[in-house]
Structure 1
Amino acid sequence: MTDAADAEVRDGRDLYVEHCASCHGAELQGQPEWRSPDKGGLYLAPPHDESGHTWQHDDSMLTDYITRGGQAVVDDMNVSFTSGMPDFGMVLTDSEITAILDYIKSTWPDRIRATQAQRSQDAWVD
């Protein structure tokens, strides 16, 4: 990584700790029982490490989910799902969201980073 890329990942980690870790965990581990809804039907925060599903989504979807909040995105997709993910579009800039995602991706093994990068590229082409 270049010094600039290293700095962006560090900035992304700081932003992640400030805005995301309270739900998704300081070590990106997510909340226990995240795969099943709670008693109220709300799905808890998933992990952002390789054990979760974050890497299965392209950059555009992840950015949209952070910007508009989970419920707005899943509603637009006509998915029956109750998301607790708040919107951060008025809190974080686009570059801050990108830095957070870059930090999260920096923790993934090479094979998962490559898979997610390909999904992002394929989505861009579509």
Structure 2
Amino acid sequence: MIRTITLTICAAITLVACSDDTEQATNNQGAKATSNIDPKTVSLLANPQTGRWYSPAQVDKGKQNFAQYCAGCHGVKAESTPNWRTTDATGNYPPPPLNGTAHAWHHPLAVLDMVIRDGGAPLGGVMPAWGQVLNTEQRLELIASFQSYWPDKTYDLWLERELSSREE
């Protein structure tokens, strides 16, 4: 009996010691989300299935989180509202579309991640911050999900800008 308890404790200690606490999965209770991924170093090599930096699995996971956290404001397919360029009664702009028809494609991956992580307040907007809810991997999946709606020409322009931003 003591041997079984000792082995169980050793196994638990080993599991805890070997776990990487810098990459935590977010739970549904809003636990702090952390990640050691740097969006500035994400590989931009084309995935053979998508022809883009992301995989189909990233898009699928991102669409699940997009539906939960983003679609209420940005639209189910990232299409937003027709009048997103017109301020509302409080002087704020509605959420822009993220489907490649607005300005999201002008921004590097790190900036897109930062806006999702920190929200719109640092830029004068009202979008909530999701950094305590979604880790970097999940935010990159969100970006993959809305980039999957971008036409190839828009994605190619974004990729050119992204590569250029990494040379600076």
TM tier, shorter chain? 0.7 to 0.9
State the percentage of identical aligned residues.
29
- Specify which of 148, 160, 163 is matched with residue 118 of structure 1: 160
The aligned counterpart of 1:98 is 140
The aligned counterpart of 1:29 is 79
With 36-45 and 11-20 compared, the bigger mean Cα shift is at 36-45
TM-score (normalised: structure 2): 0.65
Q: In structure 1, how many angstroms separate the alpha carbons of the residues matched to 2:82 and 2:89?
A: 14
Higher fraction of helix: 1
Q: CA deviation at 1:49?
A: 1.2
- Specify which of 55, 58, 69 is matched with residue 8 of structure 1: 58
Q: What SS does the corresponding residue of 1:102 show, helix, strand or coil? A: helix
Whether 1:88 aligns to 2:130 is: yes
Contact (CA 8 Å) 1:60, 1:120: kept in 2 or not?
Answer: no
* Aligned residue runs from structure 1 range 10-89, under 5 A: 10-72=60-122, 74=123, 82-89=124-131
Contact (CA 8 Å) 1:38, 1:44: kept in 2 or not?
Answer: yes
Q: In structure 2, how many angstroms separate the alpha carbons of the residues matched to 1:116 and 1:38?
A: 29
Contact (CA 8 Å) 1:30, 1:48: kept in 2 or not?
Answer: yes
Deviant stretches of 4+, over 4 Å: none
Contact (CA 8 Å) 1:65, 1:87: kept in 2 or not?
Answer: yes
Q: CA deviation at 1:50?
A: 2.3
Q: Which has the larger radius of gyration?
A: 2
Cα deviation per residue 1:55-83 (whole Å; 9 max; x = unaligned)?
Answer: 121111111111111121x2xxxxxxx41
Q: In structure 1, how many angstroms separate the alpha carbons of the residues matched to 2:100 and 2:136?
A: 24
User: Runs of 5+ in structure 1 lacking a partner?
Assistant: 75-81
Q: In structure 2, how many angstroms separate the alpha carbons of the residues matched to 1:105 and 1:34?
A: 19
Q: In structure 1, how many angstroms separate the alpha carbons of the residues matched to 2:155 and 2:70?
A: 20
User: Runs of 5+ in structure 2 lacking a partner?
Assistant: 1-48
Contact (CA 8 Å) 2:99, 2:150: kept in 1 or not?
Answer: yes
